[in-house]
Each structure stands twice: as structure tokens, then as C-alpha cells.
Chain A
Amino acid sequence: MLTLLCFIKKELTQALRDPRMRFILFGAPVLQLVIFGYVVTTDIKNIRLAVVDQDRSNPSRELADAFFASGYFIPARPVRSVSEAEAALEGNDARVALIIPADFSRHLGRQDPAAVQILFDGSDGNSTNITKAYVEGIVAAYSQERMTALLNNLAQTSRLNLGAGPKVDPEIRVFYNPELRSSSFMVPGILCMILLLITALLSGMSITREKELGTLEQILVSPVRRIEFILGKTIPFVLVGLIDVVLVLVAAKLLFQIPIRGSLVLLFFSSLIFLFTSLGLGLFGASVSRNQTQVLLTIFPFMMPAFLLSGLFFPVASIPAALRWIAYINPLSYFLVIVRGILLKGVGLTVLWPQISALAVFGVALITYSSLRFRKRIE
């Protein structure tokens, strides 16, 4: 026991000696949180809109104003013709162009459908989809307003009392994140990402470093037992990981006012279970590598798919069914559901036990396999 404590102390001293390492362990997670929290917003603002108004009438100006009044659009550099608008789209000076033909107000006045053209820069994919939804909303609202006005007019002239009409009014209640803030969604995700990143990669590299520098032999001839070596190498990262959880939570609370609705104890407990998986991955990397470059090249290829196919950025349900199993064998997906569940929904074990058990199974299996493999390697 004493040997183990000394070994952990040695590891911590070694890791915390280098100021760069201190920053990586404790500064970088908070920095990541801040950048992610501010960057990740799927609301699009300041979309540059080029307007070609060939009608130059009151209704055409009203339509263009409806776009700018929505708050999503800002005027692009003025264009005079359709070809200039197209050039602006190609040169990234505008993302959307609204083209109102010369006969617009004439058609409107006669209650014929008045055609307008809306050109999008389709190369900026995700934004284009969202912009399209904004445009549809604006067009629908403009149409609705004109239709209602006309209807009321006609009803008045024919002396009819129509009332409010057979309207369906959705009464919306948004749970867990009523203001629909991106940071509430992203910050729990960042917590998961940081834990995996720091513990898996660094623990694997730290073990292999001893191999690379030849100090592993020295340790093995010392009275340190194999299991103490493995524990001594992983426990410091458990500590670092849990400290990072606290740091990130405090920063998230202060900077982004993230709610913490559930039990913090459960959150720490599940983080601990997740660390089994994460350290198991690190140990696995170490067991198949001779040097640190190899550890990096072994673990890193797992990380990107783990991040992107976990529900961190987009829902697992949107992944095509044939490939959705990747998310189901990805421990990060379960951890994400747990962290978001505890922080945002305030749910506890009664709801989250399936995810926590899945995580525990992954963790125990992976760390047992890797430890055995690693022990065989060093014997």
C-alpha cells in the first residue's frame, strides 16, 4: 500500500513538474470549454442577403424589409442585376439573394401569385438548410398577413362575421432548456470529451514513456508489484480527471449558467465509471506499443469516431440505421446521456441505470482485458 502511494506521488510530481503539462491538464480543459461554449451555436445570424428589387414598389420594399426585420439577415454589398447577385454568391459576398421581378406589385394587386426568386449559396450546407427554414418562415408570415388582411376586407364588404377562423395554435412548453441555449447542450458534451481526451491518451503515453526511456526495467526489478505499477500509473489520471470535472463544472456554472439539476454524487460516480473505459483504452494502447508515437497512433484513430458518433453534435437517431450500431458500442454515447440527464433533466438512477450499467460493463471488460494484456507484455 505504501509502495503504491509513493508511486502515485512520484507520478504526480513527474506530471506536474512541467508547466506546459500543468496547463494541458488543468488549463486546456477550461479553455476548450470557453471556446466551445461560445462557438457552438447553430443559430445563424448576420446572413448576408443581396436584394435585387426590379419592381421598386411599396410591397416589394415591404417584402425585403420583412427579411431584414427578422434579425437573421444583414444587407450584402448592393447589387443591381441578377448576374451581379450571382457573382456575389460565387465570391462569398452574399449567401442569399432575393430577386423581386418588375411585375411583382402588379400581380399582388390582382391577387395572382406574385413570383419572387430566392437564390442560395448551396455550398455552405448546414447553414443553407437553416437559412432555408428562416426564409420559408418569413415568406409564410408575409403571405399569411396579406391573406388575413384580404380576407377581413372581403368579409367586411360582404358583411360576414367569420370570427377567428379554424386555427391550430400550438402551445409550446420547452423542458430542461427553455431558452434553447446551445451552451446548455454543448457543455455537458465537452465535459465528456475532455475526460476521454486527457485520461486515455496521457495515461497510455505515460506508461509507454517508461518503456521508451528504459526506466520500466528499473521499476520492474524494484519491489513495486505489477498491479501496483498499473494502479500507480492510472490512479493519478483518475484524480486529474475528477479535478477536471470540478473545474469544468465550476466554469460552466459561472460563465454559461449551466443548470445542475441532478445529483453531483451520481455525476462523480458515473465519471469514475467512465474513467475505467477511458483508462482501459489508454492501457490497451500502451500494451500494443513500443513507443509513445505508437500509442498516439493507436488511440487517436478511436477518438474522432468516438466524438462524432456519440450524439455530441447531432442526434444518434439521425445516423443511418445501418451504421447506428457504432453509436451503441461507443461508451461515450452512454456517458453523454448520463451527464446531460443529470445536469439538464435532473434525472437520477431510476432513469439512468441502463446507461450506467452499460458503461460499467464496458469499463470493467476493457480495463481487465488491457491489464492482463499489459502484464503479459511486461513479463
Chain B
Amino acid sequence: MRILAIIHKEFLHIRRDIRVLYFSLIWPVVLLVLFGLTVTFDVKNLPLVFFDLDDQPASREFYSAFRQTGMFNLVRRTDFSWSKSPGLLDQGRARGLVILPKGFSRSLGRGEPTAVQLLVDGSDNNTARIMLGYVAGISRDFYRRKLAEFLRPYGALAPALREPLDARMRFLYNPALRSENFIVPGLIAVIMMILGTMLTALTITVEWERGTMEQLFYTPIRAREFILGKLTPYFLISVLQMTLVLVTSTVLFHVPFRGNLLYFYLAAMLFMLGALGAGLFISLISRTQQVAAMVAFLTSFLPAFMLSGFIFPIASMPLALRLLSYAVPAKYFLTIIRGLFLKGSGLDILWPDFLIMLLYAAFFFVISTSRFRKRVA
């Protein structure tokens, strides 16, 4: 019954401060909605200035090929000066400049290759790469079209214009490649990891700082009871929170949920136990709340965001970081919820991830308990 007293005491703390409830129940949903609406990896609206110095039908056709991609925020100009125009990149007013030289249309009409200049702002390497890919594709398609026009008089060559490959691409589990379908599950893993760790990270440090920890040592409380008592209220809150984010993702963002709901809750509970346990452990080893808060942030946000496979592919990382990613619980949770949401996978595929999350939660429970005992002694 001592454990109930601890739970009761912790609930009183939570009730006294409305901000804890706001942080744990409203903030995650707000973040999920906000990021679900704004975070996108589709690169769009890139400002591109198109200098058409040729200004002939073929060059205008090339320009409209750029427009049709819908990727760019295009400005077409017919004047260019080497002293002023590249400044557009410096000022960030353009991410790229395309320069069609005079004589562009004439060489193409004669069946001769012609060069266009492309000046790219490389500081955002990812966007630059995507832009280069688009330009390569546009130029290739344009070449095909011009070649067909050029070869029209030579009927014997017609077979060479036929596309030799018919590549049919199919995207399993997310056929339209909707970005919500993968961003939302990833966000759930990141947000919940932060929430769990942050919620408990300060609870014991507060007692250290105020000296109430010593008072606790004089009571007959056992380590296990203390740790469980501290965890239970936050655990209940976070299971409730998991329900809220699940509803938000399916109802608001229409992310399909194809798996078993029971597995979702099992995974959620294991994951949150691990996160809360990690927070509690940080709380036990930090003397001041400032340290606890920073450690909690650095050990929850960074790994969950960077090493879970949410945005940055683990397979491309250097070996040391790939190994480190195995210690990140969000990686396993993310595999499970992606499996449950999109693939409809079951335990036959996901059991190793469940097992590791169970071990992770157990690990923090055990070391927290033993750490607490040592302090008592």
C-alpha cells in the first residue's frame, strides 16, 4: 500500500500544476498536428530565375517544360548580366539560375547539341541535388522530343525513338507516396520519446534539490515501490496520450491503420515504460534540474529524431553510428508502428522489436532500482 501513497503523492503534484497536464496531453497533439501539416520532404516552390536570352519558340518550349514540373517558383527574364544576376543567389532570392544562350533554338533546329548554363546554390545540398535531378530529367525529355522532330524526315530511324523500357513502379503500403503516411508515425515516435523522458526527468531531481529525498529515506519505502510509484501516474497519462495521437493520425491525417490495435497498445506501453524509465534514471543521477533537463533533451530528442530512421536512413550512416542506432528504442518503436499503420504486419515479423523494447524497459527499471538502493545505503 506504500506504493499507492507514492502514486497518490505524484498525482497531487501533477494536479497542482496544470502545465504538466497541458504538456503531456495537449502539447503532443498540437505538435503532431502542426508538424503533420508543415513537415514535408517534397521540395516545392524553389525560386528559380530563367534567363531566356534566345527568346525563340524552342527556348520558350524549354521554359514551359520547367513550368510543367510544378517544382519551381519561376521568373523568366530575357536580360542577363554577369555583374548583377549571380547576386540573386547571394541574396537568397533564387536557388538556381538557368541561362539559355542566344542561338539555342538555331543549334537545336540543325540537330546540334547546345549548352545551357545552370548556376545552383549548393548550400542546401539536398535541395540542390533534387534540383539537379529535375533539370537532368527535363533536358533528357526535351532531347527526346527534339530528336523525334528532327528525325521525322527519316522514316527508317523511327524504331530507335521507341522507349525500350517500360518501367512500372509500384509503391507498396503507401501507393500514392502520401507524405503524411510516413511523417505522422515518425513524429509519434519522436514526440512520445521526448514526452516520456521529460515527464520523469525532473521528478526525483526536484526531491534532491529540495532535500525531500532524505525524508523519503527515513520512511520504510522500498526501492521497487518508489520507482513503480513514481512511474505509474506518468505511465497512465502516456497511455492516454498514445490514444490521442492514434486518433489524431487516423482521423485527422487519414493515415491507414492496418495492424492489430492490441499490438499497438502493447508496443506503446513498452516504449513509454522505457522512455519514462530512462527519464527516471536521469533524474536519479543528476544533482540539479538544469542538468537533468538538458540530459533528458539530448538523450531523447536527438537519438529519436536522428538515429531512429525517421528522416535519415540508418543504412547510409558510418558504422559507429549504425551500431549506436541499435541502442535507440525509437528505432524499434518506429519499425513497429510503421509496420502496424502501413504494412499491417503481425508479431511473426515484429517480435524481435517487441523483445528489445521489453529488455530496454526492464533494463532501466533494474538500474534505477539498484541506483536508488545504493543511495539509501
Contacts and interface: CB of A to CB of B under 8 A. Distances in A.
Interface stretch (A217-225, A227-235, A296-304): A296-304
B218 interface: no
A301 B182 contact: no
Interface residues of A, number: 125
B248 interface: no
Given A18-B287, A173-B118, A309 B38 contact: yes
Interface string A341-379: 100110100010000000000000000000000000000
B307 to A, nearest CB: 7
B185 to A, nearest CB: 8
Contacts of A132: 169, 171, 177
A135 to B, nearest CB: 7
B306 A40 contact: yes
Contact of B112 (A40, A164, A292): A164
A247 interface: no
The residue in A122, A201, A351 that gathers the most chain B C-beta atoms within 10 A of its C-beta is: A122
A254 interface: no
A120 B171 contact: yes
Nearest to B92: A337
A31 to B, nearest CB: 8
Nearest to B132: A172
A173 B20 contact: no
Contact of B160 (A21, A154, A300): A154
A39 B175 contact: no
Given A44-B316, A114-B164, A122-B171, A168 B62 contact: yes
Contact of B289 (A128, A292, A317): A292
B312 interface: yes
A24 B297 CA distance: 11
B23 A113 contact: no
Interface stretch (A3-11, A139-147, A263-271): A139-147
Given A20-B287, A177-B125, A292-B202, A167 B143 contact: yes
Nearest to A180: B125
Interface stretch (A238-246, A272-280, A318-326): A318-326
Contact of A122 (B118, B139, B177, B349): B177
B85 interface: no
A20 B19 contact: no
A121 B156 contact: no
B157 interface: yes
Interface stretch (B3-11, B233-241, B337-345, B355-363): B337-345
Contacts of A137: 133, 136
Contacts of A166: 107-114, 143, 146-147, 149-150
A116 B167 contact: yes
A20 B31 contact: no
A206 interface: yes
B374 interface: no
Contact of B31 (A128, A177, A304): A304
A182 B19 contact: no
Interface in B125-167: 125-130, 132-133, 135-137, 139-140, 142-143, 146-147, 149-150, 154, 156-157, 159-167
Interface stretch (B44-52, B76-84, B263-271, B364-372): B44-52
A260 interface: no
Contacts of B221: none
Contact of A182 (B31, B126, B136, B315): B126
B167 A120 contact: no
A234 B314 CA distance: 39
B37 A323 contact: yes
B280 interface: no
B115 interface: yes
Given A111-B162, A304-B31, A345-B90, A182 B125 contact: yes
Given A38-B321, A116-B166, A126-B182, A294 B41 contact: no
A147 B170 contact: no
Contact of A293 (B17, B132, B160): B17
A151 B34 CA distance: 53
Contacts of A155: 157
Contacts of B343: 90, 123
B177 A197 contact: no
B119 interface: yes
A140 to B, nearest CB: 6
B295 A177 contact: no
B120 A173 contact: yes
A341 B341 CA distance: 41
A176 B122 contact: yes
Interface string B274-315: 000000000000111111011101100110001101011101
Contacts of A315: 43, 46, 95, 124, 127
A185 interface: yes
Contacts of A89: 172
Interface of B: 17, 19-20, 22-23, 27, 30-31, 34-35, 37-47, 62, 73, 86, 89-92, 95, 107-130, 132-133, 135-137, 139-140, 142-143, 146-147, 149-150, 154, 156-157, 159-175, 177, 179, 181-183, 186, 194, 198, 202, 206, 209-210, 286-291, 293-295, 297-298, 301-302, 306-307, 309, 311-313, 315-318, 321, 335, 338-339, 341-343, 345, 349
Given A125-B179, A158-B156, A318-B42, 4 more contacts: A43-B129, A122-B171, A147-B160, A154-B156
21 contacts: A32-B302, A38-B321, A40-B306, A90-B343, A115-B168, A127-B313, A128-B171, A160-B157, A165-B113, A166-B112, A170-B117, A181-B125, A185-B124, A202-B290, A209-B289, A293-B20, A296-B289, A301-B30, A317-B47, A318-B45, A347-B91
Interface of A: 18, 20-21, 24, 28, 32, 35-36, 38-48, 63, 86, 89-92, 108, 111-129, 132-133, 135-137, 139-140, 142-144, 146-147, 150-151, 153-155, 157-158, 160, 162-178, 180-182, 184-185, 197-198, 201-202, 205-206, 209, 212-213, 291-294, 296-298, 300-301, 304-305, 308-309, 313-315, 317-320, 323, 326, 337, 340-341, 344-345, 347, 351
Q: Give the 7 A-B CB pairs with smallest separation, nearest first.
A: A125-B182, A122-B174, A122-B171, A177-B122, A151-B160, A166-B146, A174-B122
